[in-house]
Structure 1
Amino acid sequence: MKIPKALLVDPERNRWYGCAAVASSIFVFAYSTRFGQVSILAYYACWLPLLLVDHRRMLDRCWRFGWIMGFAALACLSVFWSAAPAVTARAGLQLLSHVVCALIAARTVGVRSLCRGAVAGICVVLLYSFAFGQYNYDPLDGTYSFVGAFSSKNQIGLYASLGIYFAFSSLFILRERTAWRLLALVCGTVSVVALAKAQSATSVLAIAATLGVVACLIFAMRFPPPIRKGALVAAAMTALVAVFAVANFGAFDLVLGAFGKDSTLTGRTYLWSQGWAAAAQAPVFGVGYQAYWVQGFSEAERLWEEFYIGSRSGFHFHNTYIEVLVELGAAGVALIALPMIRVPLGFLSRLASTRRDPASLVAFGIAWMFLIRSFVEVDVINPYVVGSFLLYYAAGLLASPRRDRHALAPAARHDRLRRAAA
C-alpha cells in the first residue's frame, strides 16, 4: 500500500498526521525523563523521516533558516573550548537535531494542526499529572505546591499556561467547531485547575500578559491597516509606561505578594548575581554549552546544596540570558536574542499590514509568551523541551516562504478548481 506524500508533508492534507505528531511530541517533552530513550526515539520518528518523504519541500530555500540555526551551531562548536567536552558534544548534537525537527514541523504542519495537537497533547499531559502526580515541599518559600508528575511547579505551570493559550487560540482565533471546540474547552478547564494548584506566579503572570496582548491584537485587527498601525504604536508606548510604573512605584512587589513571593523572587536575584559572577570568568564564549551544571564541578555543587537540589541536576539560573551568558558568553546571548526578538516583531509587522492572518496571530502569541518568560525562566535553549520546539516552530514559520503556509497542494488546488467549475 502506497501512502501519498501529501498525507504526510502537505499542511493542507496532513492534519491528522500533524495533530498526532505534535501531541506525541508534547507528551515526550513532558515525560521523557520518566520513559527514557525510547520516547526520544519516538519523537525523532515523527519528524526526521519526513526529510526522506519529500526532501525538496524540506530543503527548499533552507538558507532562510541561517539566523535560526546560529545558536544551535554555536552550542555544537563550543565543544572545542568546553570545560566538559563530552557533555557539550552530546547536548549540542541533541539541540541541533531538535531544532531541525522543529523546522521540519514548521514546513509540514499548519497552525491549525499545531493547535489541535497541542490541545490534545497538553490535556493528556495534565491528566497524567493529576493521576500520578504529587505535592512537593518548597524549602525556599516554605509552602507545598502541586508539581504533578514533574519535578517542579514551574514545569506544570508552563504546560498549564500553554494549555490555556492554545485553548484560547482554538476558540477565539481559529474558531474551531464541533469536537475540537469541545476538546479546547476541556483542555482550558483542566489547565486552569492545574495552574491554580501549581501556584506558579511566573506562569500566571506570563499567560495573563500574553492573553491581554493577543486580545488587544484581535480587537485591533477589526480596523484598517493604517489605523491599526497607529493603535499598535500607542499600545507599545502604553506598555512601556506601565512597565516603568510597575518597576518604580512598588506595583511589582504587590503582585508578588499576592503569590506569597518577595522582591527576591524566592532566591532568583541571588542566583542571578551568582550567574553574573560566573559569566565574568569567560565573558565572550562562556564555559561551553551545558558545561556549568556538571556533577563534580565545585560551583555547581555549591549552588545545588544552597538551593536544596538533592538530585544535583535539572537546575539553572532562572534567566535565559544569564544562563546563556555563562555557557556561551556574549556571542551566545546575541544568537539567542535574535530569534527571541525577531520572531514576535516579525509576526507583529505582518499583523499590522494584513487584513486577517490567524496563523501569524497564534505564532506571535507563542513567541511573546516565551519572550516574557525568558527573563525569569529557561525554556528555549535545551533539547527535548516544549519551549524550544514551539519557539523554533514559530521562527521556521516566519522564515518560510508565505506560499508554503497558505498555498494549496497542486492536487488539492485542482480538485477545488474543478468543483468550482462544476
Structure 2
Amino acid sequence: MKIAKASLISPDRNGAYGTVAIALSFFVFAYSARFGQVSILVYYGLWLPLVFVDYRRVIGSYNSRLWILGFALFACLSVFWSAAPATTARAGIQYLSHVVCALIAMRLVSIRTLVRGAVAGTGILLVYSLLFGVYHLDPLDGTYSFVGAFASKNQLGFYASLGIYFAFVAPMALGERGLWFVASCMVGLLSAYCLVASQSATSVLTTAVIIGIWLGMRMVGFLSPRHRKGLFLASIVCGSMIAVAAVYGGGIDFVLGLFGKDSTLTGRTYLWQQGVEAAMASPLVGVGYQAYWVQGFSEPERLWEEFYIATRSGFHFHNTFIEAMVETGAIGLALLSAVLLATVLGHTKRLLTEDHDTQSSVLFGIAVLLLMRSFVEIDIMNPYHVGSFLLYFAAGKLTLPQGRTKRPAEDVPVRSAPRMAPRMRYR
C-alpha cells in the first residue's frame, strides 16, 4: 500500500497523523521516566523518519533559526568545561535532538492539529494518572498531595494546566464543534479535577492568570491596530502597579496562605539563594549543562539531604534563570532568555498588528504560560519535556511566513493541457 506524502508532511492534509503524533509525544513527555528508552525511541520515530519523506520540506532552511538553536548548541559545547563531561555530552545531544524534533513538528503541524493532539494527549495521560496514580507526603509542609503517575505534584499540575488551556482555546480560538467540542469539554473537566487534586499553587495561579490574559488579548483584538497598542501598554502599566501593590500590601502572602504556603514558597527562596551562590563559582559559562545535580558532588548531596530527596535525582533550583546560570553561565542564560522572550514578544506583536491571527493567539498563551512558570520551574531546560517542545514549536512558527502554508509541488495536481479541436480547412 502506497501512502501519499501529503498525508504525512502537508499541514493541510496530515491532520490524522499529526494529531496522533502530538498526542503520543505528550504521553512520552509525561511518562518517559516510567517507560524508559523505548518510549523515547517512539518519540523519535514519530518525527525524525519524516526527513526521508521530503527532507527539503521537513527540514527547510535553518539560516533563520540559528537564534532558536543557540542555547541547545551551547549546551552541547559545554562538555569541554563540564564538571561531569559524560553527563553533559549525553544530555546536550538529547536536548539538541529534542529541539530538532520540535522544529520538524512546527513545519508539519498546523495549529488546529496541535490543539487537537494536545487535547487528546492530555486527556489520555491524565486518565492514566487517575488509574495508576498515588499520593505523596510533602515533608516540608506535612501535607499529602495527589501526584498521579508522576514524581511530583507540580508535574501533574502543569499537565492539568495545559489540558485546561487547550480545552479552552479549542472552541474559543479555533471554533471547534461536534466531537472535538465534546472532547475538549471532557478534558477540561478532567484537567480541572486533577489541578485541584494536585494542590499545586503554581499551576492553579498560572492557569487562572493565563486564561485571563488570553481573554484580555482577545478583547484587544477587536480594536484597530493603533488602539490595540495603546490599550496593551496601559494594561501592562496597570498590571505592574497591581503586582507591586500585591507584593508590598500582603496580597501575595494572602494568596499563598490559601494553598498552605508561606512567603518562602516552601523553601524555594532558600533554594534560590543557594543557586545564586553556586552560579558565582563560574558566572560566565557555568559548570556544564546538567552537570550540577550529579550524585557524588558535595553541594547537590547536601541540598538533597536538606530537602528530603531520598532518590537523589529529579531536583532543581525551581527557577529557570538560576538553573541556566548555574549550568551554562551568563552566556547560556542570555541565549535561553532570548528564545523565550523573542517568542513571547513575537506573537504579541503579531496579535497587535494583524487581524484574526489564530495561530499567534494560541501560541501567545503558551509562551506567556511558560514565561510565568519560568520563575518557579524549569519547564524549558530539559529534553523530552512538553514545556521545551512547546517553546521551540512556538518560536519556530515565527520564522515561517504568515498565511496558509503552501503544499509541496509534488502534491499539487497537474492539469493536462486541454485538447485542441482539429483545425478545419475551408475552401
Q: Does 1:227 align with 2:227?
A: yes
1:33 maps to which residue?
33
2:311 counterpart SS class? coil
Deviation of the 1:60 alpha carbon: 2.5
1:317 maps to which residue?
317
Q: Which amino acid aligns with 2:392?
A: Y
1:129 maps to which residue?
129
1:193 counterpart SS class? helix
Deviation of the 1:252 alpha carbon: 0.8
1:135 counterpart SS class? strand
Comparing 358-367 with 235-244, greater Cα deviation is found at 235-244
1:176 maps to which residue?
176
Q: Does 1:353 align with 2:353?
A: yes
2:313 counterpart SS class? coil
Q: Which amino acid aligns with 1:79?
A: V
**Deviation string, structure 1 residues 171-195 (Cα, Å, up to 9, x no partner):** 2111101101111001100000000
Q: Which amino acid aligns with 1:6?
A: A
Distance 1:410 1:193 in 2: 47
Distance 1:365 1:206 in 2: 11
TM-score normalized by structure 2?
A: 0.95
Distance 1:133 1:48 in 2: 32
1:14 maps to which residue?
14
- For residues 143-292 of structure 1, the aligned pairs below 5 Å read 143-292=143-292
**Deviation string, structure 1 residues 216-257 (Cα, Å, up to 9, x no partner):** 111111122122222111111111112221222211111111
Comparing 74-83 with 218-227, greater Cα deviation is found at 218-227
Deviation of the 1:58 alpha carbon: 2.7
TM-score normalized by structure 1?
A: 0.96
Cα distance change on mapping 1:54 and 1:411 into 2, 3 Å? closer
1:89 maps to which residue?
89
Deviation of the 1:408 alpha carbon: 5.0
Distance 1:93 1:166 in 2: 30
1:48 counterpart SS class? helix
Distance 1:320 1:14 in 2: 35
2:295 maps to which residue?
295
Q: Is the CA contact (8 Å cut-off) linking 1:64 and 1:400 kept in structure 2?
A: no
Comparing 85-94 with 231-240, greater Cα deviation is found at 231-240
1:367 maps to which residue?
367
Distance 2:184 2:409 in 1: 32
1:98 counterpart SS class? helix
Q: Is the CA contact (8 Å cut-off) linking 1:317 and 1:323 kept in structure 2?
A: yes
2:398 counterpart SS class? helix
Q: Is the CA contact (8 Å cut-off) linking 1:285 and 1:328 kept in structure 2?
A: yes
Distance 1:7 1:308 in 2: 50
Comparing 248-257 with 159-168, greater Cα deviation is found at 248-257
Q: Is the CA contact (8 Å cut-off) linking 2:57 and 2:408 kept in structure 1?
A: no
1:399 counterpart SS class? coil
1:418 maps to which residue?
none
Distance 2:12 2:49 in 1: 19
Distance 1:199 1:11 in 2: 38
1:419 maps to which residue?
none
Q: Is the CA contact (8 Å cut-off) linking 1:164 and 1:188 kept in structure 2?
A: yes
Q: Which runs of 5+ in 1 are unaligned?
A: 416-422
Q: Which amino acid aligns with 1:170?
A: A
Q: Is the CA contact (8 Å cut-off) linking 2:23 and 2:122 kept in structure 1?
A: yes
Q: Is the CA contact (8 Å cut-off) linking 1:79 and 1:289 kept in structure 2?
A: yes
2:146 counterpart SS class? strand
Distance 1:40 1:400 in 2: 28
Distance 1:59 1:407 in 2: 15
Deviation of the 1:412 alpha carbon: 7.7
Q: Does 1:103 align with 2:97?
A: no
Distance 1:350 1:11 in 2: 21
Q: Is the CA contact (8 Å cut-off) linking 2:6 and 2:411 kept in structure 1?
A: no
1:339 maps to which residue?
339
Q: Is the CA contact (8 Å cut-off) linking 1:122 and 1:187 kept in structure 2?
A: yes
Q: Is the CA contact (8 Å cut-off) linking 2:59 and 2:104 kept in structure 1?
A: no
**Deviation string, structure 1 residues 381-400 (Cα, Å, up to 9, x no partner):** 10001100001100111122
1:2 maps to which residue?
2
Distance 2:408 2:305 in 1: 56
- For residues 60-71 of structure 1, the aligned pairs below 5 Å read 60-71=60-71
**Deviation string, structure 1 residues 144-164 (Cα, Å, up to 9, x no partner):** 000000010000000000000
Cα distance change on mapping 1:200 and 1:410 into 2, 3 Å? same
Deviation of the 1:73 alpha carbon: 0.3
Q: Is the CA contact (8 Å cut-off) linking 2:5 and 2:411 kept in structure 1?
A: no
Number of residue-to-residue matches in the alignment: 414
Deviation of the 1:414 alpha carbon: 6.5
Between structure 1 and structure 2, the one with the greater Rg is 2
1:145 counterpart SS class? strand
Distance 1:257 1:271 in 2: 20
Displacement over 3 Å in runs of 4+? 405-415
Distance 2:362 2:38 in 1: 31
Cα distance change on mapping 1:350 and 1:412 into 2, 3 Å? farther
Distance 2:372 2:23 in 1: 24
Cα distance change on mapping 1:409 and 1:169 into 2, 3 Å? farther
Distance 1:344 1:167 in 2: 21
2:392 maps to which residue?
392
Distance 2:213 2:126 in 1: 26
Q: Which amino acid aligns with 1:305?
A: E
